[in-house]
Structures are given as C-alpha cells and as structure tokens.
Amino acid sequence: MAQTQQQTQPQQRKIAPPPVNPETEHFWEAAGQGKLLYKKCAACGEPHFYPRPHCPFCFSDKVEWQEASGRGTIYTYSVMRRAPVPYAIAYVTLAEGPTMMTNIVDCDLDALRIGQPVQLVFKPSDGGPPVPMFTPA
Amino acid sequence: MSIKGKAYIVGIYEHPTRLATDKTIPQLHAESARGALEDAGLTKNDIDGYFCAAGDTPGLGALSMIDYLGLKLKHIDSTDVGGSSYLLQVGHVAEAIAAGKCSIALITLAGRPRAEGMATGTAPRAPERPMPESGFELPYAPATANMYAMAAMRHMHEYGTTSEQLAWIKVAASHHAQHNPHAMLRDVVTVEDVVNSPMIADPLHRLDCCVISDGGGAIIMTTPEIAKSLKRPLVKLIGAGEAPKHQMGGKVDLTYSGGRWSGPLAFAEAGVKPSDIKYASIYDSFTITVLMQLEDLGFCEKGQGGRFVSDGNLISGVGKLPFNTDGGGLCNNHPSNRGGLTKVLEAVRQLRGEAHPAVQVKNCDVALAHGTGGSLGTRHAGATVIMERE
C-alpha cells in the first residue's frame, strides 16, 4: 500500500527546516497553528517582512505582530528545473502589503503567471515547524 | 575628497587555469599576485596594502593570506560583498592611497568551485551560521539561478523583454571568447542555440548562465608618482561608486539593481557620461544581470535593455558598446563564483591597447567596469569603477 502511494502521489521536495531563534519563535509557533504573521510599526505605520524586532523603515522598536489574511498575488516566480523535484520559488505580495519569498505548491507549475491570486497553505518542513507557502486561489 | 586621478592600476594578472585540481586556493592567490607584480615591475616587498574579500581567502579575514604571502603592511581591507567585492576594493584602494594609508596595494581573488564539484547555481547554499533572513528564505530553496530568474521573469512582465533579447548577450560574449585561448567556451553561439539550450530556472536557459570555473586574478594599484616611474601604460581610476540594494523590508522591486545608485556616483566623480564610455566590463553571472545593469548605469532607458543588447550591439567592432571582450563570465571564466576582478582586468587591457587585436576597441580612452555581488533576487552590492588611459 505504501509503495502504491509513493508511485501515485506527486513527489514532494524535502523542505529545509527554518532556523528558529528568540526573534522568530512566536512566528513559528503561529505557523504551527496555521497562521501567517508579519510585523507592523506602531510609530510609522509601515508593515514589514521578514519580521524583525525593529522597524526597517523608521527603526522604532514599537513593532507589533499582525496576522495576514493569507491572500496574495504572485509578484514573480521561477520554476527550478535542475532539481531532483522541480519546484516554484516566488515572491508573493500579501494583501496587507509586504512581499515575501515563498514557494507555489499543489498546482501545475507550467500554468503559473505573474499577478495570479494565491492562497496561503502550510507545508511540513524536515524536522522543523510548518512553513508558509501559497497555492493558486 | 575625490579619488579622481589619485590611484593608478599598474599591474594585472589573470590566472590561466580553469580547473585547478592540483592547486590550493592560497596557491592560486599567490600565483596571481606574482603575475600582477611581474606585470607592474614590482616585488612582493613593495606591497604595503592588501585588499581581498574575506569569503574567498581561507582564514580569519585577510590574516592567513597575509601570513602565507609574507606581507608587511600598513593597510588591510577584506570587505566582502560577493562577486563585486573586487570592484568595490579598487575604489577602496584609491581611497587608502589618496589618504596616504598605503602606496602600493595588492588585490587578489582565487577559488576552485569547479575542482570542488560545487553546484554553484542550482543548489541552495546553506550558510555556516543562520542569517537574519534564513528562516524566511532557506525553506524555499533559493539557489543562485532561480533568484536571478525571478528578476528576469519580472523584467519580461513589466517591459516585454524576451528570451531572444537576453540571448544576444551570450551571443556577443561568445563572439569575443573565440579569440581568448584561455576561455572555457570558445564556440560562437547563435540566439537559437541559447533559447534552445535546456531550461535551468524559467526563463533562464543553460546558455543564459555563466560558467563554473576555477582560477584567480590580481591587481596592483599605486600612487601617480610611482605609476609614472614604472614602464607600463598609465591607467588611472577616475570614479568609483558602491551601493547596496535589498528587499527593503518587503517593498521588493526586482526590476533594478544597486547599479542605479553606484553608477551615478562613479559617473559624477569621473565627470563623464555613459556615452563617453568606449568599453564596458559588465558582470555577467547571467544574461539578465548584464541587461539590468546596462539600464541602471544609464546606457539605455529602463526597460529598453532588451532592445539595446540586440543585433550585436555589444560585439566589439559591430555594436555601439563593446562589452566583456575576454568572453566574460558567460564564456571565459568565473573564478570562485566571483566575476568582479576579471571585469577590471579586461577593462585595463582595453585601455592599455593589450586586448586581443580582434576585439581591441579603437581609441579606447575611457572604460567602465561594474558588478553586482550577492543576488539580484534578494540583496546585493553594486560597484562601479571608471578608468582612463593617460
């Protein structure tokens, strides 16, 4: 049975576990609950990604975690063909503003296009927390 | 204070190896240094400033290399911003010389990714220590090729740039490489050859990517007084600029590079315009790198790079802007996965009139060398140098 599944299910790329540190452990705990977080500055109002303990625009340390809606659009992407399992890397612009690096998964990689609406999904990493990715909406 | 005319490039050397299975990295640094010293007519003990990039010199910064080479110095700089480091260092040397911190400076580069079997462009490189962005990038497998590919994809989307236009950059490089006996790839290729080569990371084909090679190189720079006492043609630095660009806290824009800022700094210092440049060495890690940097440096309008590079416009003797007449990274070499130093070398050869006769630019009096170190797709440093024949 296990063999049959291996043959019929699309092969998955092994996802490197993100290093978790005191700055980001809250982000990854939320990821474990299916939530994508970003930071917003209480001083200047700018959202940013990847999340930091300071605002990269005004350098205030009054930054707060926000939960993203999970909706976004593909800013750009590329399908890596020279890999054991071809995969799509992308930048997705979140509905809330910031653009983040990600993968586009569970789809026909040859049908991707810039501007395409995408929806948040989480994929397990190899021994680490689940990682936010996107799939066509 | 300006560095214009304060420092001269008096010695250059490009290591001829492209596969160094029988040599160490420090040895390649040393052989390159020896070659540049011989070219300049100087000796090792004349050197009082050493410049390198920490990432390709084994040991703590420059220290092990300084010990290995047996240098006694007044000035050290091992700033590393990836492949453009050596372009940036040319500017830093001029600053140090202008400030009297050293008088004869050596810059070296060496590496052997080919002998080590490194999958330079297609496999993600995990850092020794996590970087602040690691958790938000490594899981997605950013290799080098797919990051530059994302920049190319966006450029095509915004400006209608085509694979055929990008291919012209490789075609031009191959026309030049046929005359370079050391080049890894000497066959002239066509636009069809490029677009029909295997896809690596959409939209970049195999022939849109630079070679993986071993090798090295070195540069000797000095004061105007010492330069004029030597027997080599006089090539002086007249402008330098450096500028990092990054993801800007999530305001990602992959349609331009740090060259948008480093270029104007260098042109302003030199007091010249893009139209004054007779020859340009442009870092060509991928074809898209060249196209975007040409736009950012002002050789054409933003978005017009595809049109600019087409129909042989970068081929010496054919087009308006001869580029990378040694074959560049696309055909000649890419030692240590870092193309910045070799960009300076070919520009100096052009200014000296020592390029291969088939690609030598007539009356080449002002030349530019520019590079992008790091990744066009995430964070990088643009570095521009402008040189003049005296």
A16, B124: Cβ pair inside 8 Å?
yes
- Bridge partners for A47 per DSSP: A40
More confident residue, A84 or B218: B218
Hey, is the C-beta of A75 within 8 angstroms of any chain B C-beta? yes
Per-residue pLDDT at A1:
34
B150, A38: Cβ pair inside 8 Å?
no
Hey, is the C-beta of A20 within 8 angstroms of any chain B C-beta? yes
| Mean pLDDT (whole number) for B63-87 | 98
B250, A100: Cβ pair inside 8 Å?
yes
Hey, is the C-beta of A98 within 8 angstroms of any chain B C-beta? yes
Among the partner-chain residues B122, B149, B204, the one whose CB lies closest to the CB of A83 is: B122
Per-residue pLDDT at B169:
98
B200: chain A residues, CB-CB within 8 Å: 80-82
A82, B201: Cβ pair inside 8 Å?
yes
Per-residue pLDDT at B121:
81
Rounded Cα–Cα distance for residues A2 and B20 (Å): 47
Largest CA distance in chain B: 56
B135, A87: Cβ pair inside 8 Å?
no
A38, B250: Cβ pair inside 8 Å?
yes
Is B8-117+210-389 in CATH node 3.40.47.10?
Answer: yes
- Could you tell me the pTM of the whole model? 0.96
Per-residue pLDDT at A5:
37
More confident residue, B288 or B117: B288
Question: Is residue A2 scored above 70 in pLDDT?
Answer: no
B70-109 as b/e, with b when 16 or more CB fall inside 10 Å? ebeeebbbbebbbbbbbbbbbbbbbebbbeebbbbbbbbb
Min Cα–Cα distance to chain A from B148, Å:
9
B291 sits in the region (left: phi over 0; alpha: psi -120 to 50; else beta) called alpha
| CB-based contacts of A36, cutoff 8 Å, min separation 6 | A30, A67, A68, A70, A94, A120, A132
Per-residue pLDDT at B40:
98
A7 pLDDT band (50/70/90 cuts)?
very low
B126: chain A residues, CB-CB within 8 Å: 16
pLDDT in tens, B254-301: 999 999 999 999 999 999 999 999 999 999 999 999 999 999 999 999
| CB-based contacts of B232, cutoff 8 Å, min separation 6 | B10, B11, B39, B40, B41, B352
The share of chain B scoring above pLDDT 70, in percent, equals 100
CATH class of A22-136: mainly beta
Among the partner-chain residues B122, B154, B249, the one whose CB lies closest to the CB of A76 is: B154
A17, B139: Cβ pair inside 8 Å?
yes
Rounded Cα–Cα distance for residues B92 and B99 (Å): 11
A23: chain B residues, CB-CB within 8 Å: 132
Per-residue pLDDT at B124:
82
Task: Judge whether B262 and B241 are in contact, CB under 8 Å.
Answer: yes
Among the partner-chain residues A19, A78, A103, the one whose CB lies closest to the CB of B153 is: A78
pLDDT averaged over chain A?
Answer: 92
| CB-based contacts of B123, cutoff 8 Å, min separation 6 | B143
| Mean pLDDT (whole number) for B334-363 | 97
Complex ipTM: 0.96
B139: chain A residues, CB-CB within 8 Å: 15-18, 103, 125, 128, 131
Per-residue pLDDT at B1:
82
A99, B251: Cβ pair inside 8 Å?
yes
A75: chain B residues, CB-CB within 8 Å: 154, 252, 254
At how many degrees (to 10) do helices B259-270 and B287-296 cross? 50
pLDDT in tens, B142-184: 999 999 999 999 999 999 999 999 999 999 999 999 999 999 9
Among the partner-chain residues B135, B141, B248, the one whose CB lies closest to the CB of A24 is: B135
A44: chain B residues, CB-CB within 8 Å: none
Question: Is residue B388 scored above 50 in pLDDT?
Answer: yes
How far, in Å, are B30, B253, B272, B300, B309 from residue B285 at the CA level? 25, 19, 26, 20, 16
Encode chain A in three state secondary structure: CHHHHHHHCCCCCCCCCCCCCCCCHHHHHHHHCCCCEEEEECCCCCEECCCCCCCCCCCCCCEEEEECCCEEEEEEEEEECCCCCCEEEEEEEECCCCEEEEEECCCCHHHCCCCCEEEEEEECCCCCCCEEEEEEC
pLDDT in tens, A57-95: 999 999 999 999 999 999 999 999 999 999 999 999 999
Rounded Cα–Cα distance for residues A57 and A98 (Å): 13
Hey, is the C-beta of A90 within 8 angstroms of any chain B C-beta? yes
Domain boundaries, chain B: 8-117+210-389
Per-residue pLDDT at B127:
79
What are the residues of chain B with a beta carbon less than 8 Å away from any beta carbon of chain A? 122, 124, 126, 130, 132-143, 145-147, 149-154, 157, 198-204, 247-252, 254, 378
A83: chain B residues, CB-CB within 8 Å: 122, 141, 143
Encode B128-155 in three state secondary structure: CCCCCCHHHCHHHCCCHHHHHHHHHHHH
Domain boundaries, chain A: 22-136
B135, A18: Cβ pair inside 8 Å?
yes
| CB-based contacts of B154, cutoff 8 Å, min separation 6 | A75, A76, A114, B254, B255
Question: Is residue A4 scored above 60 in pLDDT?
Answer: no
Residue listed under structure tokens 């330069």 = B227
Per-residue pLDDT at A11:
55
Rounded Cα–Cα distance for residues B382 and B390 (Å): 26
